[in-house]
Structure 1
């Protein structure tokens, strides 16, 4: 009891010099620690912080630019044929002296035989008996019984044809056409089909799914029965029908994508609209007499724009793979036109002898698909509120 009285006495009799008055302003209590951000600003900030997604975006931008600029970077035309330079290996100025990069303009093979002389003779015969343009290195001399002799033969086709000052950056195909030009031209066609699929998804799929989900009732029943019929028809069957009516090519693929390619997006948009249209802010807008067109464009679409962008980013690589698959089985782009699929198909036929015809377009299509998928993952994380910090 006495201690409490002493503490109270000491607190009430503290010297005034220990206290300093605080100058209070009008905005002191209302001060915000940091500037508030909108959902789109948060999404953009999260996306920019995603290093793999940003690297993928820069890679895709570079590939798109090269698909337009690349074919004009050398003197060879898209369909210029010269059988005298058919199946020439890749040769790049400045890299021709680095053999392990594969741009030195040589063919290198390993040959076996009972003796070194027999293996060397196989190497010489394989490259047209032009021994003076070959470098033969013994790998294993063998013992003449179970262990065979092995030699490595390196052939210099540019020197053999008197083309020491000629360079084909990615080699040439079986008709002597420059692969650099055709690869970038094929990339342009593949990207055109991919972005066409994305545009169809946005124009038809979003509109169709939005109308079906928002109005519901009999309209929704009719529209969904149409989608079920279209979904039941495989894309390959549609392509075969288009091939019968039309010739294989960009037009038939475009029509096939137009008929069935948008159904997935329409179903996703419909599901999101059905979930959102019963929310309080939509009911309030209806109560205030807001027209349906304005509710869809100003309230519903902004709220589902994230899922639309994400689905579109995954639609593009699927369309590229779809076109490559069709071209690989002969139902896509018709030669002499080129796409990444037709170039891979052509290179597959010569894989054992001339692997560079397959390697370069296969690497490019792999990079495009991986980059789009990584960028799609970045958009998915950016539009996820749980990822915002």
Structure 2
């Protein structure tokens, strides 16, 4: 259509269009900050949320668990030594293993010989031992013996929820006290490592140059010293216990955090917003604390969450080999060590602390994985 034809169109037909909102510029979703997106992504992670709930329950139980019965941590009584777990109500469900009995299989040339082996194993308390013949053939007889030890020791009205150890101490009380000690050591060591590592790495990365070179050479020397060597040296000056373990974990535990923080600071300190802050005359301290550290807070939190289970495992390892918490004090490591010594005859002494430390380690690692995904913008939808 040319201009002459356009001019011939009646003006009545030309109706002006009403302005409409440009739907292409509409915001289809509410605006969220980075932390809001991170929280939203974390809350969608069911495993991480379950781990948080499990950890909260474990922490609460470590605080109130020892006071839930009348037995003290150091209350010894050899007459009740090596008692199996027995829990009210649950004792009626035999397959759960909380019925307060000891059971094992015994072999012999005949059923009678296998039965006598069972009687000898359980102090010849024949009136309280139930025998079930599994194989009655001559030459390879096998029986299953169930020993009602609570009845044999006239303790029908007593309950040890997780059993007792070789000295008759209540395992429930010692388990939660040991968990409290292990968590306390881990959190203290992680907090100190966090403070030192962030400060050291932040200063080295921000100032760079000779300061960075000197600080990194010192850090490399510390990295080369094994933790076990440090704890052995601590034993020469300090008694085995919480203090020596925390010092050993602190001396080299912060080096990984320092390296991560230094690398992130080196990447961010040349960004425009940092240069703008320095141009406006803000001090180095304000630039670090207000602009750099908040932008790497996610990495710091994630690394801390992974450091805590490492500290728990290191404490348990030291206590297991006899260089950590010393008896009569309890930690998860000492309980596992005690259970390991009685594994063949009384496996329940090892099961409960081993299961609990495994749950703690898995929970912290799942939370760390959830936080890592939450703070990764590529994972947000």
Interval of TM-score (by shorter of Structure 1 and Structure 2): over 0.9
What is the aligned counterpart of 1:266 among 248, 258, 275? 258
Structure 2 residue matching 1:93: 3-state secondary structure? coil
Aligned twin of 1:64: 59
**C-alpha distance in structure 1 between counterparts of 2:299 and 2:274, whole Å:** 19
CA shift, 1:160, in A, is 0.3
Aligned twin of 2:171: 179
Is 1:227–2:222 an aligned residue pair? Answer: no
**Which segment is superposed worse, 29-38 or 357-366?**
29-38
Aligned twin of 2:112: 117
CA shift, 1:289, in A, is 1.6
Task: State the 4+ residue runs in structure 1 displaced beyond 2 angstroms.
Answer: 19-25, 27-34
TM-score of the superposed pair, with normalisation by structure 1: 0.92
How large is the RMSD of aligned CA atoms in angstroms?
2.1
Structure 1 residue matching 2:205: 3-state secondary structure? helix
Aligned twin of 1:104: 99
Aligned twin of 1:238: 230
Aligned twin of 1:35: 30
**C-alpha distance in structure 2 between counterparts of 1:48 and 1:383, whole Å:** 12
Structure 2 residue matching 1:96: 3-state secondary structure? helix
CA shift, 1:103, in A, is 0.5
Matches within 5 A, 1:10-49: 31-49=26-44
Is 1:308–2:300 an aligned residue pair? Answer: yes
Q: Which structure 1 segments of 5+ residues have no match?
A: none
Matches within 5 A, 1:286-297: 286-297=278-289
Aligned twin of 1:81: 76
**C-alpha distance in structure 2 between counterparts of 1:28 and 1:326, whole Å:** 65
**Which segment is superposed worse, 212-221 or 67-76?**
212-221
CA shift, 1:230, in A, is 1.1
What is the aligned counterpart of 1:255 among 224, 247, 252? 247
**C-alpha distance in structure 2 between counterparts of 1:171 and 1:285, whole Å:** 63
**C-alpha distance in structure 2 between counterparts of 1:97 and 1:109, whole Å:** 19
Is 1:190–2:182 an aligned residue pair? Answer: yes
Aligned twin of 1:320: 312
**C-alpha distance in structure 1 between counterparts of 2:262 and 2:213, whole Å:** 12
CA shift, 1:173, in A, is 0.3
Aligned twin of 1:350: 342
CA shift, 1:272, in A, is 0.5
Q: Which structure 2 segments of 5+ residues have no match?
A: none
**How many correspondences in the alignment?**
375
CA shift, 1:31, in A, is 4.8
TM-score of the superposed pair, with normalisation by structure 2: 0.94
Structure 2 residue matching 1:105: 3-state secondary structure? coil
CA shift, 1:257, in A, is 1.7
Per-residue CA deviations over 1:214-243 (Å, capped at 9, x if unaligned) read: 011222122112211211111100000001
Closer, same or farther in 2 for the Cα pair 1:20/1:157, shift >3 Å?
farther
